[in-house]
Amino acid sequence: MPFGLGFGELVLIFGVMLLLFGAKRLPELATGMGKGIRDFKRAINGLDEQSIAGAPQQNYLQANPVAPSALADTVPATVEGEPKRL
């Protein structure tokens, strides 16, 4: 059985759901859950197909290298008389 549940536990869960939602609403809930799961699987498969089909996968650091000297120019000089902030 799925998730280690026995037949008795599944019947009990189904009975509680039947009491909470009613006989008319239960098929609607199951249909909605099925559609949601189906859409989710399609979205996941679509993402996998896009990444495999040649979607551009570039590493940002490799595409835009920054020289260390350029980083040193952007560090502000400390003002005398003002304490150094961490």
Give the model confidence (pLDDT) of 8-30 as tens digits: 999 999 999 999 999 999 999 99
Q: State the maximum Cα–Cα separation within the chain, in Å, rounded to a whole number.
A: 78
The two structure tokens encoding residue 62 = 């490799």
pTM over 0.75: no
3-state helix, strand, coil in the chain (%, to 5): 65, 0, 35
pLDDT tier, 69 (very low <50, low <70, confident <90, very high otherwise): low
